[in-house]
């Protein structure tokens, strides 16, 4: 019976997620952001200002490695994560804004079952988004490699396939982590505008300012840690550290909001 309830919630949530304005708009945004990051990686390959985030330079030699095919994809993970955060936050908080949560609980009174079904549905939406982004990024990488004079021989090897699988898994983990933060904010603030605004301002502005002032803070900032997961670790933050502390933040946040969701009134 519990599985039936979860499936019903899953399908009901997907009915909202597949609305053309939401589904097509989100997919176009994801594809566009990934395409932009990947294009700049190849088109600015000889630019002295750099061709990656924060003016970093990714050389032709690096792009010609088996992992070069997915560098643009992994670099776009932070932006994909912001999109996922907005979707998860809006889909969660709008139930309070529109007063539909009370109606949902009439059909499914088990609150945590409802919450889990909604989360799984949005997580599957994120999977579709990441698959599309990966396809766009790799297509552009092959298409722009000639103009950038990047050899692609290593991109069609078994090592490249292994790198693709690893990168895809890391990016998916990163994007779902961002989305989970969005859902936590949506449940906590119960307002789509407040949840999205707070999440975006913190991740895109506040964290960058703090890290610019003191670089060591990057090891503890959730947004930076989630982006680090997508790239498999950096020279400043290891992959294990990023995974561990991201999981800790998400578990603490999840415990808080699920407790609130179970106990407080469902009206906004």
Residue 240 is predicted with a pLDDT of 95
**CA nearest neighbour of 219 among 199, 200, 244, 197:** 244
- Which residue range(s) make up the domain with 239? 2-263
pLDDT band at 1; cut points 50, 70, 90: very low
Angle between helices 2-17 and 77-97 (to 10 degrees): 110
Identify whether 253 is part of a domain.
Answer: yes
**CA nearest neighbour of 78 among 229, 233, 246, 242:** 229
Instruction: Work out how many domains the chain is built from and give that number.
Output: 1
Identify whether 176 is part of a domain.
Answer: yes
The model's pLDDT over 7-50, given as tens digits with 9 standing for 90+, comes to 777 887 888 899 999 999 999 999 999 999 999 999 988 887 87
Identify whether 92 is part of a domain.
Answer: yes
Residue 260 is predicted with a pLDDT of 87
The model's pLDDT over 191-245, given as tens digits with 9 standing for 90+, comes to 999 999 999 999 999 999 999 899 889 899 999 999 999 999 888 899 999 999 9
CA–CA distances in Å: residue 229 to residues 92, 137, 233: 25, 18, 6
Identify whether 268 is part of a domain.
Answer: no
Share of the chain above pLDDT 70, in %: 91
Residue 3 is predicted with a pLDDT of 56
pLDDT band at 81; cut points 50, 70, 90: very high
| Stated pTM of the model | 0.91
Length of the chain: 268
The model's pLDDT over 131-184, given as tens digits with 9 standing for 90+, comes to 999 999 999 999 999 999 999 999 999 999 999 999 999 999 999 999 999 999
């Amino acid at each position: 019976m519990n599985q039936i309830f979860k499936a019903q919630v899953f399908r009901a949530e997907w009915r909202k997620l597949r609305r053309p304005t939401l589904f097509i708009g989100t997919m176009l945004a994801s594809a566009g952001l990934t395409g932009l990051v990947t294009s700049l990686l190849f088109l600015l390959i000889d630019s002295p200002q750099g061709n990656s985030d924060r003016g970093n330079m990714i050389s032709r030699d690096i792009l010609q490695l088996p992992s070069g095919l997915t560098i643009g994809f992994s670099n776009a993970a932070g932006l994909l994560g912001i999109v996922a955060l907005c979707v998860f936050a809006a889909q969660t908080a709008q139930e309070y804004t529109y007063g539909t949560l009370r109606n949902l609980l009439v059909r499914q009174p088990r609150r945590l079952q409802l919450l889990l079904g909604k989360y799984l549905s949005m997580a599957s939406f994120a999977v579709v988004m990441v698959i599309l982004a990966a396809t766009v990024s790799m297509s552009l990488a092959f298409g722009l490699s000639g103009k950038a004079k990047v050899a692609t021989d290593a991109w069609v090897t078994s090592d490249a396939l292994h790198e693709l699988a690893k990168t895809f898994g890391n990016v998916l983990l990163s994007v779902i982590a961002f989305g989970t933060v969005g859902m936590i904010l949506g449940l906590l603030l119960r307002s789509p505008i407040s949840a999205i605004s707070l999440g975006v301002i913190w991740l895109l502005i506040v964290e960058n300012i703090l890290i610019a002032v003191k670089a060591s803070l990057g090891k503890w900032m959730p947004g930076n840690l989630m982006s680090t997961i997508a790239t498999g670790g950096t020279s400043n933050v290891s992959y294990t550290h990023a995974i561990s502390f991201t999981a800790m933040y998400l578990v603490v946040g999840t415990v808080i909001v699920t407790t609130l969701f179970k106990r407080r009134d469902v009206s906004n």
